[in-house]
Amino acid sequence: MLELVVLSPAFGMRNVSPYCVKAEMLLKSLDLPFKLTEEADPRKAPKGKMPYLIADGEKIADSELITEYLNKLTDGQVYKNLTPNQSAQGLAISRLCEDHLYWLMVASRWLDDAWWPNVVEGFFHIAPKLLRGLIANGARKQVRQTLALHGLGKHNLDEQKGFAQRDLQALEDLVPSSGFLFGDTPTIYDFTVAGLMTGIYDNQPATWLTTLAQPYQRLHNYTERVQEKTGVYGRII
Ligand SMILES: N[C@@H](CCC(=O)N[C@@H](CS)C(=O)NCC(=O)O)C(=O)O
């Protein structure tokens, strides 16, 4: 039996990580029986990040490597109906989501002083009460450094909002008003986009990025459609 290990619920989300939602949607769409396990501490993951998949006693870390593993396991079912051109577009869209917009989601949660108490409560409630503030502030310092290294963390809030708006507009213009990116059946690339967007639309309370994303109605409807079709929702329903 496959076991997908995902982050514990937080911010009104059943599954709070875009990468975990993507992997869960993929397993569901492939009709593979699997067990979902929650882990609040990413340091326990083989590479310090969630999700990971336990298969045949092996731990596979990273949603993209999980995708490759499942594609092999199912004799190519993951990419079976995609042309090379669609796969190329899908990969480019995934990189936009996971290597750019995702980091703005991280910034909107971790760097905003007004939202910060939600991170402490959502991610660090497992830490002993007396040490919670210290541990959370240490982690925040690391996230700040990571965002600075990425480059997005060097920009002020207005500039970060500008980057986010351009990403959101690109996604709004890319997604169809019915069906999915590459036809009537959602693919791994739809799971990537919807996994990220549910984390942006549905986390509670709203971050500045949630508010910024609200007017992109086609993107919102599309995100709902992918969740409906797979039966996998980021938020608690
Ligand atoms: N490339 C990885 C990224 C996974 C990732 O960044 N997961 C986040 C949660 S959304 C995490 O576990 N972060 C914990 C940390 O960096 O300490 C994937 O696709 O699985």
CATH code of 22's domain = 1.20.1050.130
Within a domain: 122: yes
Of 199, 188, 198, give the one whose Cα is nearest residue 225: 198
Q: Which residues contact 74 (CB under 8 A, 6 or more apart)?
A: 30, 32
Within a domain: 16: yes
User: What is the distance in A from the centroid of ligand 1 to the CA of 213?
Assistant: 22
How many angstroms separate the CA atoms of 62 and 66, rounded?
6
* Ligand 1 environment, Cβ below 6 A: 7, 17-19, 42, 48-51, 62-64
For the segment 104-140, what is each residue's pLDDT rounded down to a tens digit? 999 999 999 999 999 999 999 999 999 999 999 999 9
At residue 174, the pLDDT reads 98
Range 23-28 average pLDDT: 98
Ligand 1: which of 6, 16, 17, 26 to mutate, most ligand atoms within 8 Å of CB?
A: 17
pTM confidence score: 0.98
At residue 222, the pLDDT reads 99
Range 78-89 average pLDDT: 97
Beta carbons of 137 and 90 less than 8 angstroms apart: no
Within a domain: 235: no
Structural domain range at position 115: 2-230
How many angstroms separate the CA atoms of 161 and 181, rounded?
25
Number of domains in the chain: 1
How many angstroms separate the CA atoms of 92 and 106, rounded?
20
How many angstroms separate the CA atoms of 156 and 38, rounded?
35
Which residue's C-alpha comes closest to atom 5 of ligand 1? 49
Mean pLDDT for all residues in the chain? 97
How many angstroms separate the CA atoms of 47 and 44, rounded?
8
Within a domain: 195: yes
Within a domain: 87: yes
Range 206-210 average pLDDT: 98
**pLDDT band per the 50, 70, 90 thresholds, residue 191:** very high
For the segment 91-104, what is each residue's pLDDT rounded down to a tens digit? 999 999 999 999 99
Of ligand 1's listed atoms, the one at least distance from the Cα of 199 is 10
| Percent of the chain whose pLDDT exceeds 70 | 100
Within a domain: 169: yes
Beta carbons of 50 and 3 less than 8 angstroms apart: no
User: What is the distance in A from the centroid of ligand 1 to the CA of 214?
Assistant: 25
Within a domain: 236: no
